[in-house]
Structure formats: structure tokens, C-alpha cells
Amino acid sequence: MDMSVPRAIGHLVLNVTDVERSTAFYRDVVGFQVARYRPDGTGTFLTCGVVHHNLALFKAPEGAQPVQKGQVGLNHFAFKVDSYSALQAAHERLVEAGATIDHIVDHGMTRSVYFLDPDGIEMELFCDTFGTEAEGLAFMQATPGQATPMDITEPEPARPEMPTGDYTKIR
């Protein structure tokens, strides 16, 4: 294995208008734990509980422009939960907190809830559909992609059949 190529996505850093408000949202609603809070209120580092930090929130500079949907740059970032029932519970917390739910879909290899944080930054919470990463990758490689709207309050849908297409080629 080439040691110089990235092996994982390390962490995400967001500029936010109000560090305390965003920290409370990502801690109390999404479920992160605070790893470090800067006493001057300029930043928070949050963890999913394993690595030192998965997400950092920095105070945006004065006059920073808000996110515009569809702008060049990050579209959204996704955070994995353990199961469909955990995704349902996370969705309930988002709704109870008054978060904007953008859309809820079944991608085949994942089920996903897309939402906006307090600054309007789009995020996704998802659970895997298949039992292994290898199965999820095989499904993704064999399909052109899907985003079928779903009702997250309903019981978990059955896993899709594994198709046999090949969507790994760049034209």
C-alpha cells in the first residue's frame, strides 16, 4: 500500500456565525461530544468518541457570506450512525430541535436524512443498508445511483437485491 495516499477523511472544519449555538446543536441534537472548547469562544472541537476530533467549529470572520445552496465548494458532509433505528432517533431529535429537514432518501446502500445546521449548512446522517462495507461498495459500483424518497417513521425497508451492472467506468 502506498503510504503517501490518504487512508481516511480525518475531520471537517466549519466556519459558523455563533460557536456556542452551533456547539449546542452538534452536541445536543446531532450527538457529538465536546473534546475541546476554546474559552474565548472562537472554536470548539467535537468527537464521535473515538478519535481526538471529527468536527471543528470556528468563529467565521466578520462579514462572512452565508452558504448559498448550489455554490461551488462543499455540498454536504455525512455522519454515520449505527443502525436504521438510530437514524430514526436522530431524525426525531432534529425535528424536536426545530432543525430544517431538507430531504430523506433511500440510496440503496444507505438510508439518509439531510438537514440544515443553524447556519444553513447542509449535513447528512445515514446508516448503512448492507452488513459490510464490501457489499455497500459492490451495490454502488453496480448501480447508476438512486435517491428514493422515504418515510423515516416507517419500519426499515428490506435490503435491495444486488444488481450486476458496472458503473465504475468514466466515459
One domain, residues 44 and 81: no
With a cut of 90, say whether residue 97 has pLDDT above it. yes
Question: Which of the 8 DSSP states describes residue 90?
Answer: H
* pTM given for the model: 0.92
Tell me the residue length of the chain. 171
One domain, residues 142 and 79: yes
One domain, residues 111 and 49: no
- Say if residues 67 and 121 touch (Cβ distance below 8 Å): yes
One domain, residues 88 and 149: yes
| Structure confidence at residue 91 (pLDDT) | 98
For the chain, percent of residues with pLDDT exceeding 70: 99
| Sheet of strand 12-16: strand arrangement | 12-16, 55-59, 43-47, 33-37
With a cut of 80, say whether residue 22 has pLDDT above it. yes
Amino acid 102 reads D
User: In total, how many domains does the chain have?
Assistant: 2
C-alpha span between 125 and 81 (Å, rounded)? 7
Q: What contacts 24+ positions apart, CB below 8 Å, involve 4-11? A: 11/51, 11/53, 11/54, 11/55, 11/56
C-alpha span between 171 and 169 (Å, rounded)? 6
Residue 3 in grid coordinates: 503510504
Instruction: Evaluate whether residue 112 is within a structural domain.
Output: yes
| Structure confidence at residue 66 (pLDDT) | 87
With a cut of 80, say whether residue 1 has pLDDT above it. no
By the 10 Å C-beta count (0-12 exposed, 13-18 middle, 19+ buried), 149 is classed as exposed
Instruction: Evaluate whether residue 1 is within a structural domain.
Output: no
> Domain residues for 86?
75-156
Question: Which tens digit of pLDDT belongs to each residue from 36-73?
Answer: 999 999 999 999 999 999 999 999 999 999 888 888 88
One domain, residues 92 and 133: yes
Instruction: Evaluate whether residue 122 is within a structural domain.
Output: yes
Instruction: Evaluate whether residue 2 is within a structural domain.
Output: no
Instruction: Evaluate whether residue 42 is within a structural domain.
Output: yes
One domain, residues 85 and 140: yes
By the 10 Å C-beta count (0-12 exposed, 13-18 middle, 19+ buried), 61 is classed as exposed
One domain, residues 57 and 92: no
One domain, residues 144 and 82: yes
| Structure confidence at residue 127 (pLDDT) | 97
| Structure confidence at residue 98 (pLDDT) | 97
Angle ∠(46,81,141) on CA atoms, nearest 5: 115
One domain, residues 17 and 54: yes
User: In whole numbers, what is the pLDDT of the chain averaged over residues?
Assistant: 94
One domain, residues 41 and 89: no
Give the domain CATH number at 26: 3.10.180.10
| Structure confidence at residue 69 (pLDDT) | 84
